[in-house]
Amino acid sequence: MEYHGRHFQSEVGLCMKLLALETANEQCSVSIVDEDQTLYFQCDPRAKAQTQTILPLIEQGLQETQTELTDLTAIAFSRGPGSFSGVRINAAVTQALAWANDLPVIPVSTLQALAQAAYRELGLREVTAVLDARMQEVYMASYQLDDQNIMKAIDEEKMLDYVQGATYQKFTIIGSGSALIKADLESYPQITAHADDIATIARALAKKQQWLSAEMALPVYLRDNAWKKIADQGKP
């Protein structure tokens, strides 16, 4: 559902300010950016600490940048695929803050953010992003850099087993799932997406007002049985 709230095109280029959240992986990071630069970034690398850290990090960022939630243009978030609990936390916090403050939301694929991180860190322009989906499966998609320096998908996100993943790979492999498939191409398993990467993608979308209303801050799991208990999925 498109957003038809209080933001107008004339406002976006003049005073854009985005809050970006990333909890879809094992860590938690928060970023606040304007149309040109990062105003605040903080990452808590502790595994599975998202529920304890996301709100304090948001509050710290707002205080340090002297920003009120109502000053924001939109809230961007990693909508998945990724850790079931991490994706759910990110979507829930985004939806609650956006709903309470009449803000639009910008969902960003976790795989796209991972691809953007590969460009940011290593200057890679073509990558196949791979995340561990547990249960001997991986999430995958391939991306190429566009003329705005944004990684764009060239195919749909997929959930594949390790053998299928090895067959599917198109470009340099990046992400936590890289070590799980027998990659024929160069791989960088250490690449991890942060809120800054979410913000970079969201900034380009916000300039075109490509955002959604708060109720559309929904998680994407790619797994039909994502509702099952973590123990049932063989997750630690």
pLDDT in tens, 100-153: 999 999 999 999 999 999 999 999 999 999 999 999 999 999 999 999 999 999
Instruction: Give the model's pLDDT for residue 189.
Output: 93
| C-beta of residue 1 within 8 angstroms of C-beta of residue 16 | no
Torsion of CA 107, 111, 114, 119, to 10 degrees: -100
Distance from C-alpha of 117 to C-alpha of 123, rounded to nearest angstrom: 9
Contact between residue 21 and residue 76 where contact means Cβ atoms under 8 Å apart = yes
What pLDDT sits at residue 6? 54
Answer for the pair 191, 110: CB distance below 8 angstroms, yes or no.
no
Q: In the chain, what are the domains?
A: 9-109+193-233 (3.30.420.40), 111-188 (3.30.420.40)
For residue 9, pLDDT beyond 50: no
For residues 20-40, average pLDDT = 94
Cα separation, 174 vs 171, whole angstroms? 9
**Residue 92 contacts residue 86 (beta carbons within 8 Å):** no
Q: What is the pTM of this model?
A: 0.89
Give the pLDDT band (50/70/90) at residue 223: confident
Tens-place pLDDT, residues 34-89: 999 999 999 998 877 888 999 999 999 999 999 999 999 999 999 999 988 999 99
pLDDT 10s digits, 142-188: 999 999 999 999 999 999 999 999 999 999 999 999 989 976 778 99
If pLDDT is split at 50, 70 and 90, which confidence band does 229 have? Answer: very low
- Classify 133 as helix, strand or coil: strand
34 bridge partner residues: 17
CB 143 within 8 A of CB 173: no
CB crowding 210-224: b at 16 or more within 10 Å, else e: ebbbbebbebbbbbe
Please indicate whether residue 25 or residue 216 has the higher confidence score (pLDDT). 216
Cis peptide bond upstream of 56, omega within 30: no
DSSP 79: -
